[in-house]
Amino acid sequence: MIVNQQLIRDMYTNFNVLFNKTFDETKPNYPLVAMEVPSSSSDENYAWFGQLPSMREWIGDRQIQNLSAYTYAIKNKDFELTIAVKKNDIADDKIGIYKPLIQDMAQTAKRHPDELVFSLLGQGFENKCYDSKPFFADDHPYMKGKTQSNKGTKKLTPASYAEARAQMMIIKGENGKSLKIVPDLLVVAPQNEAVARQILFADLIAGNTNVNKNTCELLVAPELADYPEQWYLLCTKRAIKPLVFQIREKPSFVSLDSENDENVFYRKEYIYGVDARYNAGYGLWQLAYGSTGEEAETTGA
């Protein structure tokens, strides 16, 4: 096969169509737990995280809900994935061998935010959120001199799961009123899948009626394999979600395939890649509960 610029342009077009089709068909998991926020600069500040407004009886003048003085910014990062196609492979009519690779690039690019978002949960016992406390902490401030917890240490069991649900549903806002949080998603690493399925879907546990059945949906995240004992309970049905995926530039398919490019001239390689600009960060700790899973269940629990 004669390799000329028309052939190279056609190859790019075919690769681009294949990439975009596969990208659109790939379904990541991060939208289940993170709200997608468009970004127009190098970073975005989420000062409003410190104030969740609530309705009140209208007596006298309106009371303006001022944004909290908290400062929490998420800085965008650049990401890329690049491959090389040998000129000799094109000349030998072996372009087809690269099609699965292009598809895999698209799937990898679409699911890459999952890595960023779910790693936030795994690191949430150390990394800080908008109130300068770790995302999962025992002492989140909410009123003057008062704190609340969204952190546990117990292994995932029916009892610890029920405790976590109750703990989330009594969380209050900075005005001291209930936030009416109802957890709806249990997130676990693959190592905890069997236990989680029993808690959420079994009719009986140890011969007793399973009162936790169907109280939540389940998400098993492979990205959490490095945190096998940890588990998380989230409220995800509200407009605001526990985590944030901030996007500045969506993944795009690019190339370096001109005959005048150094990679072609010196190495007989055509370069194709994906680049994007985005990042993930913590949203509202009130919508999440995390347990380290380090504490074993006590006898009789």
Structural domain containing residue 271: 5-53+67-295
**For 22-44, how does the pLDDT look when each residue is reduced to its tens digit (9 = 90+)?**
999 999 999 999 999 999 999 99
Total structural domains within the chain: 1
Q: Is 301 domain-assigned?
A: no
pLDDT for 266: 78
* Other Cβ atoms closer than 10 A to 39: 17
Q: Is 228 domain-assigned?
A: yes
Give the CATH number for residue 220: 3.90.1690
Tell me the pLDDT of the chain averaged across its residues. 90
Q: Is 226 domain-assigned?
A: yes
3-state secondary structure (DSSP) of residue 79: strand
Stretch 222-251: mean pLDDT: 96
**For 39-79, how does the pLDDT look when each residue is reduced to its tens digit (9 = 90+)?**
999 999 887 766 666 555 566 666 544 445 456 899 999 99
- The tokens for 32 are 């289940």
In degrees and rounded to multiples of 5, residue 10 shows phi and psi of -65, -40
Q: Is 26 domain-assigned?
A: yes
Residues 185, 165 contacting (CB under 8 angstroms):
no
Helices (H), 26-148: 87-91, 99-122
